[in-house]
Chain A
Amino acid sequence: MFDPKEKEKKEIQKEPELIQRISTPTRRDFLKGLAIGAGGLALGSLMTRETSEAIDLEYFPMKQFNAGQPFQTGRIAHDPRVCTGCQTCEMACAMANHQEVNPSKSRIKIYRFEPRVHIGIVCQQCGDRPCINACPVEPDAEGRRALYESKAKSLAVNVARCINCGNCVEACKSSRNGNIYLNAKGIPDGYCTLCNGDPKCIKACPQNALANVPRTTDGKYGNRPAAVLAKWSIETIYGGPKMIINNGIQVKK
């Protein structure tokens, strides 16, 4: 007898190394996971899709999937004109990159401003790499500092060589959108990995608010702090910052 679930079961079983259970981590697991995660990131450029343990939210049928397509480089561009702030991208990122149901671990973060607009902040893979250039660690034979550009042309960290100085964090915060931070182990975290060439956030977004944009335009031009992006968007959408108090009368903020 035809069982429509049969086809879906087969599709799921095709995906290798599927995580069977996500547990709420104990404190011990949490820290262990951090070590694994950080090490995983260092190896990120060497891992292929087949061996990664990503958990995908890839079932949004409106999207064209990229299975079988070549490696995607570029940067994740966010469109505040259509973003509704649902954070589905954050969940997809956290699950793919950290195997956790935990938006605080996401590398794309959505910030709500008033009048209502949602600004997505994610590493824009700036062509001039102020973060890498700020890394004081000497380049190795392949020209890689502790922070370097992976094969997917995203950032990557060599955990063994990183000296936890935070220069990269400061460079991003002072001149770009500040998405990099030092995690509990003192290792740079939060930058976009492009999911090793198969970005998950784009597939998960129900509003088509995210796009993988090739490097025609250098990401640094869009890589502004959230407050600046919000100011631009609010001016265009609403004519400037306003607040309603006292029976709907406009008051300049």
Chain B
Amino acid sequence: MPGGYAGTVLEVNLTTGKITKKPLDMKEAQMFIGGRGLGAKWLWDRTKPGGSPFAPDNPMCFMSGPLNGLPAPATCRLNIVTKSGSTFPKANPKTAGILHTSCGGRFTPELKFAGYDAIIVTGASPKPVCLVIEDDKVEIRPADKYWGMGNYQLQMTLDEDFGRRWRSVYIGPAGENGVRYANVMTEIHRACGRGGSGAVMGSKKLKFIVVKGSNSLGIENMDPWKMANISTHKNMISSTGGFSWSDWRRLGTGMVLAGASDWGMEACYNFKEGTYDKIDGMEGEAAIRNLWVGSDGCFMCPISCLHKGMVRSGKFQGMTHDGPEYEGVMMGANCGVQDMAGWQANIAASDDYGLCFISMGNILGFLMECMEKGAIKPADLDGINLKWGDVDAMLAIQKKVAYGKGCGKLIGENLRAMVAKWGKGCEAYAMECKGQGYAAWNIRVGDTHMSYATASRGADHLESGNIPTQNLRLMNDALGVCLFPVISGIKAEDLKDLLNAATGFKLSMEDYWKTAERIYTLERSFNNREGFTRADDSLPARAWEPLTYGPQKGAKLTPEGFNKELDAYYAARGWDNKAVPTKARIKELGLEGIVG
């Protein structure tokens, strides 16, 4: 067994209760690496087009990458690959697109120390269960005691029941109740967000997976490993540009709360504006003085970008939670919130319920604008008059959504379902792509719109709008390393060298990028097979509306410009202008026999 990988894949069928261990196919691993890449291959192999993400046969892959658990910066990420609860083609709302979603923490390293590169969960249990893994001991156990718990209570109970060296991932009430943007979380604050992976896990009645490992991992060649690691650290620490090392440590992604607003790129008032008129006090410099008591980091991360806060006065006095981080804007500026503590209360509620607060905040902003413009009435929200900035009303709606009560049932689906129910008057306010809501980076300035439109998992802020960066980030997801130290300065060459040194692979940079293209084209092929077309790579009508406030006042996109960008994008990816990979491209990427 080469270094890096643990060498075994764990397969758990919750319908039959059967647990199997299979050796990792190293030929496949060399082609698709791990994490998001290998997960895409397995999802392609194991699904037939047209199935619901909540059907028992939707496999849920908990993926590590070959760098997880190794002594390099932030080798911590978990990638879940499964069919999405949030995206579907316009042609067929009953099926779903591919979902890859990642979180930090300490789960995947521990999984590898236990001896497994991945867990593939199939089937569904009739009753609530959990998966308990301790090295080679793997058990499905009843989870009745835990079913219904919010994530705070669940994490603290797991710490007591299993011990503080056990690592776990889990769903909250939102996932149990099938909210289509429910997430899978770890360590209370860290989320595999977007895409409703929590609802998929909930449909299998799987409440949590808990793991402890005592084995070691291998490194094939120590000399090149040490050299690559020195280069990695030097590049990360010496960065001085925007998103630098010191910025990350000090404010985390909160460093751009004010910046994005200054650049006209922040989601404000349901994406109507890009600059927030009430940004003062709702950003990182306020948080570091008035909220934060310390930092927290993932496995092997020298940055430690999570900042834990405590509210010291006012209505929410005594509340502790992490954030604000940038995507928290969805519950902040996007909803016209001016009160830092109330903002954090809503973030904490989302985390406790296991709701993706990006999707939830997107929908709350949508509801606020619909209410303001008269497209919906308080009666549509069980009597709640949801105004901009009303943090208490936001909390009330979140609770309904998490438990599927009253209007929460409909709101827990997606924007298209609400538009269908409440009428066309709402349509202009729905900011989504492929069914999934936009995140905190606005469109009309920069190339975020391309990220949202072309990403395989629907409106995705992390993809980026240009191909080289998309490929870079995809490889991070395949390796299991965190994006942030890479944005801070780590180069792709460093990661390629670490991968080669750990595993004994001999990838050149050309091979590295070709692997990214291969995985990207496989993801696109998966979506095409489910019925997605170019028509699903669309922008909402707000894209053509100019910003009316701030330094980027007047900025807008045009349908013609966007179509030209899409044409260029597909061509650069080696796809025809219907977004179908060409036969030549499939052959070039080594996908013949797999795709088409």
Q: A102 near B217 (CB under 8 angstroms)?
A: yes
Q: A84 CA to B304 CA in the complex, in Å?
A: 6
Q: B165 near A109 (CB under 8 angstroms)?
A: yes
Q: B70 near A242 (CB under 8 angstroms)?
A: no
Q: Which of B202-210, B218-226, B457-465 lies at the interface with chain A?
A: B218-226
B217: nearest chain-A partner, CB-CB = A101
Q: A238 near B320 (CB under 8 angstroms)?
A: yes
For A12, the chain B residues whose CB sits under 8 A away are 223, 226-227
For B302, the chain A residues whose CB sits under 8 A away are 60, 86, 88, 206
Q: A62 near B300 (CB under 8 angstroms)?
A: no
For A111, the chain B residues whose CB sits under 8 A away are 164-165
Q: A61-B233, A247-B349 are in contact. Are A91 and B300 (CB under 8 A)?
A: yes
Q: B300 near A101 (CB under 8 angstroms)?
A: no
Q: Which of A15-23, A69-77, A140-148 lies at the interface with chain B?
A: A15-23
For B300, the chain A residues whose CB sits under 8 A away are 86-88, 91
Q: B71 near A57 (CB under 8 angstroms)?
A: yes
Q: A8 near B230 (CB under 8 angstroms)?
A: yes
Q: Which of A113-121, A130-138, A150-158, A170-178 lies at the interface with chain B?
A: A113-121
- Is A197 close to B, CB under 8 A? no
Q: Which of B54-62, B153-161, B534-542 lies at the interface with chain A?
A: B153-161
Q: A39 CA to B164 CA in the complex, in Å?
A: 30
Out of A18, A109, A237, A245, which one reaches B223, CB within 8 Å?
Answer: A18
Would you give the shortest CB distance from B271 to chain A, in whole angstroms? 26
Q: A102-B113, A248-B345 are in contact. Are A116 and B296 (CB under 8 A)?
A: yes
- Is B7 close to A, CB under 8 A? yes
Q: A24 near B233 (CB under 8 angstroms)?
A: no
Extra pairs beyond A101-B218, A102-B216, A111-B165 (17, CB < 8 Å)? A21-B219, A22-B216, A25-B216, A86-B297, A86-B302, A87-B106, A91-B300, A101-B71, A101-B216, A112-B159, A115-B308, A117-B294, A206-B301, A238-B310, A243-B152, A245-B152, A247-B349
- Is A5 close to B, CB under 8 A? yes
Q: B319 near A244 (CB under 8 angstroms)?
A: yes
Query: Using a CB-CB cutoff of 8 Å, which residues 82-100 of chain A contact chain B?
Result: 82, 84-88, 91-92, 94-95, 100
Query: Using a CB-CB cutoff of 8 Å, which residues 1-46 of chain A contact chain B?
Result: 5, 8-9, 12, 18-25
Q: A104-B214, A114-B156, A239-B318 are in contact. Are A62 and B237 (CB under 8 A)?
A: yes
Q: A20 CA to B504 CA in the complex, in Å?
A: 13
Out of A57, A81, A253, which one reaches B156, CB within 8 Å?
Answer: A253
A55: nearest chain-B partner, CB-CB = B222
- Is A59 close to B, CB under 8 A? yes
B253-296 Cβ-contact flags toward A at 8 Å (1 or 0) = 00000000000000000000000000000000000000001111
Q: A18 CA to B303 CA in the complex, in Å?
A: 28
Pairs across A and B, CB under 8 Å, 30 listed:
A5-B227, A8-B231, A20-B222, A22-B216, A22-B219, A55-B222, A60-B233, A82-B294, A86-B299, A86-B304, A87-B106, A102-B217, A113-B164, A115-B310, A116-B294, A116-B308, A116-B320, A237-B293, A237-B310, A238-B293, A243-B152, A245-B150, A245-B153, A247-B349, A247-B395, A248-B319, A248-B346, A248-B352, A250-B318, A253-B156
- Is A217 close to B, CB under 8 A? no
Query: Using a CB-CB cutoff of 8 Å, which residues 213-253 of chain A contact chain B?
Result: 226, 237-239, 242-248, 250, 253
Q: A81 CA to B306 CA in the complex, in Å?
A: 14
- Is B34 close to A, CB under 8 A? no
Q: B188 near A101 (CB under 8 angstroms)?
A: no
Q: A12-B223, A84-B295, A102-B215 are in contact. Are A112 and B164 (CB under 8 A)?
A: yes
Q: A166 CA to B156 CA in the complex, in Å?
A: 31
Would you give the shortest CB distance from B562 to chain A, in whole angstroms? 40
Q: Which residues of A contact B (CB under 8 A)?
A: 5, 8-9, 12, 18-25, 55, 57, 59-62, 81-82, 84-88, 91-92, 94-95, 100-105, 109, 111-118, 206-207, 226, 237-239, 242-248, 250, 253
B60-90 Cβ-contact flags toward A at 8 Å (1 or 0) = 0000000001110000000000000000000
A26: nearest chain-B partner, CB-CB = B1
Query: Using a CB-CB cutoff of 8 Å, which residues 2-31 of chain B contact chain A?
Result: 3, 6-7
Q: A109 CA to B214 CA in the complex, in Å?
A: 13
Q: B297 near A59 (CB under 8 angstroms)?
A: no
For A62, the chain B residues whose CB sits under 8 A away are 237
For A114, the chain B residues whose CB sits under 8 A away are 152, 155-156, 159, 188
B226: nearest chain-A partner, CB-CB = A12
Q: A244 near B216 (CB under 8 angstroms)?
A: no
A9: nearest chain-B partner, CB-CB = B227
Q: A101 near B165 (CB under 8 angstroms)?
A: no
Q: A23 CA to B222 CA in the complex, in Å?
A: 10
Q: A248 near B159 (CB under 8 angstroms)?
A: no
For A226, the chain B residues whose CB sits under 8 A away are 164
Q: A217 CA to B301 CA in the complex, in Å?
A: 31
Query: Using a CB-CB cutoff of 8 Å, which residues 330-365 of chain B contact chain A?
Result: 344-346, 348-349, 352
Q: Which residues of B contact A (CB under 8 A)?
A: 1, 3, 6-7, 69-71, 106, 109, 113, 150, 152-153, 155-156, 159, 164-165, 187-188, 213-223, 226-227, 229-231, 233-234, 237, 293-304, 306, 308, 310, 316, 318-322, 344-346, 348-349, 352, 395-396, 398-399
Instruction: Please name the 3 residue pairs, one residue from A and one from B, whose CB atoms are nearest each other, closest first.
Output: A206-B302, A84-B304, A102-B216
Would you give the shortest CB distance from B297 to chain A, in whole angstroms? 4
For A20, the chain B residues whose CB sits under 8 A away are 221-223
Interface centre among B109, B150, B299, B398 (most CB of A within 10 A): B299
Q: B188 near A103 (CB under 8 angstroms)?
A: no
B230: nearest chain-A partner, CB-CB = A59
Interface centre among A8, A87, A92 (most CB of B within 10 A): A87
Q: B237 near A101 (CB under 8 angstroms)?
A: no
B295: nearest chain-A partner, CB-CB = A84
Would you give the shortest CB distance from A9 to chain B, in whole angstroms? 7
Q: A18 CA to B223 CA in the complex, in Å?
A: 8
Q: A21 near B230 (CB under 8 angstroms)?
A: no
Q: A112-B187, A114-B155, A248-B395 are in contact. Are A91 and B71 (CB under 8 A)?
A: yes
Q: A113 CA to B230 CA in the complex, in Å?
A: 32
Would you give the shortest CB distance from A183 to chain B, in whole angstroms? 11
For A60, the chain B residues whose CB sits under 8 A away are 233, 302
Q: B399 near A24 (CB under 8 angstroms)?
A: no
Would you give the shortest CB distance from A103 to chain B, in whole angstroms? 7
Q: B320 near A245 (CB under 8 angstroms)?
A: no
A207: nearest chain-B partner, CB-CB = B304
Q: B233 near A23 (CB under 8 angstroms)?
A: no
For A112, the chain B residues whose CB sits under 8 A away are 159, 164, 187
Out of B70, B106, B344, which one reaches A101, CB within 8 Å?
Answer: B70
Would you give the shortest CB distance from A61 to chain B, in whole angstroms? 6
Q: A104-B113, A112-B187, A238-B310 are in contact. Are A24 and B218 (CB under 8 A)?
A: yes
For A21, the chain B residues whose CB sits under 8 A away are 3, 218-222
Out of B231, B304, B348, which one reaches A248, CB within 8 Å?
Answer: B348
Q: A18 CA to B6 CA in the complex, in Å?
A: 24
